[in-house]
Chain A
Amino acid sequence: MISQAEAGPRKVRVAKKLVVKDKSPVSSTKNLSSKFQNMSIEDNSDKITPEYVSKLKAPTSGFLCPLTKNKYIQFKGFKIRDVDSGEIFYNVSDPTDPEPFDTFMKGVDDSYRTLHYEFSKNYLKGKHIGTTVEFATCPEAIPNFRMIERHYFKDKLIKSFDFSFGFCIPNSRNTWENVYEVPKISSSLYKEMLQNPEQTCSDSFYFINDKLFMHNKAYFTFK
């Protein structure tokens, strides 16, 4: 996973060939949809809706869903670039096939979903930034995949994204690049962000059919 790829040695797994099985898209979507409808309300995360997280005004104090709830998505790459200058601030990618989706979350702790990034300070001065995520999906079709991301500096919301990927093909590998115009920041805020490592942070919430199944946190330092 990305945090580990960055930190150094990671579990090495034998790469299997990624095959897209010729399944009927309709039936497999139905399977997963009904699974989500029947999900028992055994933890509070079932009550966390897209509307709820879209109203959050500050970073959450903890994670809003258990790690083990994610049996659907594995991140395989992450890249951040300045679209105008071409400068690449961050780039990791893991070309290997995903681990078995039922078990890959076993035995991992919250450090798995807490990411720490250190970027060049040029990042704050970029005009257009492109962030790319790459992810592999489970053997079942995902009917309606949506991501909501909230970025804060010192408990103040600075930007947010809400993107619906919609349908994901079984056993697929997908990318999304979001190219956005960076809101101009004052020189005092720029200085403050530089001087306060890890005070810029984000919560990323991932939903299938509006049910939360993954929550990651990231902390940013600019140098």
Chain B
Amino acid sequence: MGLLTILKKNKLKEKEIRLLMLGLDNAGKTTILKKINGEDISTISPTLGFNIKTMELDGYKLNIWDVGGQKSIRSYWRNYFEQTDGLIWVIDSADRKDRFELCKKELLSLLKEERIAGASLLIFANKQDLPSALSKDQIQEFLELDTIESCHWNIQSCSAYTGENLVKGMKWITNDIRSRIFLLD
């Protein structure tokens, strides 16, 4: 615990929060990132690497990392775990059944990772504008989120197209991180 406290304290001094946004390809990660930044979301190509946004928020520097979710890239995710304060897991709520299974498997294996185990977890049940989208309650049950004990988590239904609940989710995760960092102090 000692080392962790020191690390967190240094972070507080630097006033920097690092969020890692992951999820299967096509979930809407890049669209969400652009939408919260007021950018055009009509032309988004698949992410073959990362997209990072650095911004200032209430005196904090917020770095959001959106790393590509294609199968060939997923093995590189672990290179981005270090120093992560919050994990945003994005789901295409209207995805196929087999992709939901895969999504659950990938999320569960992430949560076993020591380096992100303590991070706050926000789940965005995205694409709620689509009629076939599963509700956030259905997703919460399918992913068995209630069994998660290793970290603080929260699920938000959202749509990157309409912008619904994006800010709400971001507020939850940044507040949760900040209160955790302050608690350690």
Q: Which residues of A contact B (CB under 8 A)?
A: 18, 20-22, 24-25, 29, 83, 86, 130, 137, 141, 163, 165-169, 171-181
Closest 10 CB pairs of A and B: A172-B49, A174-B49, A167-B79, A179-B55, A176-B52, A178-B54, A175-B51, A173-B48, A20-B72, A169-B76
Q: Look across to chain B and name the residue whose beta carbon is closest to the beta carbon of A133.
A: B52
Contacts of A86 in B (CB 8 A): 38
Chain A contacts for B80, CB-based, 8 A: 166-167
Judged by DSSP, the binding face of A is strand
> Are A166 and B79 interface neighbours, CB within 8 A?
yes
In the assembled complex, how far is the CB of residue A16 from the closest CB belonging to chain B, in whole angstroms? 13
A-B contacts besides A168-B50, A173-B48, 10 pairs, CB < 8 Å:
A22-B75, A141-B76, A167-B76, A169-B49, A169-B50, A172-B50, A175-B50, A175-B52, A176-B51, A177-B52
Find chain A residues with CB under 8 A from B78 CB: 25
- Residues of chain B touching chain A, judged by Cβ–Cβ distance below 8 Å, are 37-38, 48-56, 68, 70, 72-73, 75-76, 78-80, 82
Q: List 15 A-B contacts (CB under 8 A).
A: A20-B48, A20-B73, A22-B75, A24-B75, A83-B37, A83-B38, A86-B38, A165-B50, A165-B52, A167-B79, A176-B52, A177-B52, A177-B54, A180-B54, A181-B56
Question: In the bound complex, how far is the Cα of B67 from the Cα of A166, in angstroms?
Answer: 13
